[in-house]
Amino acid sequence: MKKQLQYFIRLVNFEFERMYKFLLGIMIILILSNFAGYIIGPLNYVSKANETMKLESLSTTQYIETYGSFSLETLTRSLWILGPIALGIIGFLFYSIFIWYREWLGKNTFIYRLLMLPTSRMHIYFAKLLIIFVGIFSLLSLQIISLWIGSFIISSLTPPEFFSAMTVSEVVRTGIIFPMILPNTLEVFLGIYSLGLVAISVLFTIILLERSYRIKGFPLGIFYALASIGFIISPNLVSLIAKNNYILFNSELIIIVVIFALIVGLVSLLISRYLLKNKITV
């Protein structure tokens, strides 16, 4: 048991060493974009405010009543913040695919060396799955730290009469995308990231189906993905079929959807285990 754990830790460390350049690149883009926004955002706002007040003969109070004040939350609605987050989501989606296909690249396919390791083949699967979430949460942590630093930069560059102070926690609760990627309740947080975990496990299953059955495996994987999505959203169709919008409360509907998603995740895990054990051979 101890030896198996050591092999798994080595696999995770190996995957991290292969991922860190990719993760570091996204982190650098996030930092540069964020800090450019923390400087350019308030300066542009103040410049525009002064110009508008002059043209329309407005007082500071009148301008704020008409156009609104500036805050950290205002900046989180801009591409300076949303752009790197979107890049991170898309980047990790593609990396979730690349993390498997790179094993088959080149003349000496690395997947066969991995499969010959004296450990369970599912350790390879779990190491890849875990490293995706390590990267995602590392990026989220950096974004929160960036917002905290940015709040000080923005407050120092924006005149007090135009500035509306907000804490990072308030920004996370009221922003456009932050309530979805960083929910403020544990239940919602676990629900959203459980769905994310299931989505990646389904994606891994599609890849392993294609690698196992090649041409036949791709349509099989697409069918499995569509069937999984249909099964997960099927509770939403109950009210429509029954012609009763109140047959299930929203809280009950969310719980059922999460349970159905976890079932799909378990099935994906079992299919992937079978494929790694019996179909992808050395």
pLDDT band at 35 (very low <50, low <70, confident <90, very high): very high
Cβ(100)–Cβ(207) below 8 Å: yes
Mean pLDDT of the chain: 88
Cβ(23)–Cβ(135) below 8 Å: yes
Degrees to nearest 5, angle at CA 189 with 256 and 28: 135
- Mean of pLDDT values over 71-78: 90
Per-residue pLDDT tens over the stretch 87-135: 999 999 999 999 998 888 765 577 778 888 888 889 999 999 999 999 9
Residue 245 has pLDDT above 70, yes or no: no
For the chain, the straight-line distance linking the first and the last C-alpha, in angstroms and rounded, comes to 24
Residue 19 has pLDDT above 90, yes or no: yes
Per-residue pLDDT tens over the stretch 135-146: 999 999 999 999
Cβ(198)–Cβ(265) below 8 Å: yes
Residue 3 has pLDDT above 70, yes or no: yes
Per-residue confidence (pLDDT) for residue 250, from 0 to 100: 66
- Mean of pLDDT values over 274-280: 87
Per-residue confidence (pLDDT) for residue 151, from 0 to 100: 92
Determine phi and psi for 70, rounding to 5 degrees: -110, 140
Q: Among 260, 271, 46, 254, which residue's Cα sits nearest to residue 162?
A: 46
Residue 237 has pLDDT above 80, yes or no: no
Per-residue confidence (pLDDT) for residue 107, from 0 to 100: 59
Residue 60 has pLDDT above 70, yes or no: yes
pLDDT band at 269 (very low <50, low <70, confident <90, very high): very high
Per-residue confidence (pLDDT) for residue 264, from 0 to 100: 96
Distance between CA atoms of 81 and 181, rounded to whole angstroms? 13
Name the residue with tokens 């932050």.
178
Per-residue pLDDT tens over the stretch 163-213: 988 888 888 888 788 888 888 788 888 888 989 999 999 999 999 999 888
Name the residue with tokens 């103040």.
46
Helix axes 2-56, 121-157, angle to 10 degrees: 30
pTM of the complete model: 0.88
Residue 246 has pLDDT above 60, yes or no: no
Per-residue confidence (pLDDT) for residue 249, from 0 to 100: 63
- Mean of pLDDT values over 47-66: 89
Distance between CA atoms of 19 and 21, rounded to whole angstroms? 6
- Mean of pLDDT values over 246-257: 71
Distance between CA atoms of 125 and 271, rounded to whole angstroms? 12
Distance between CA atoms of 267 and 26, rounded to whole angstroms? 32
Name the 3-class secondary structure at 87: helix
- Mean of pLDDT values over 237-255: 66
Cβ(7)–Cβ(123) below 8 Å: yes
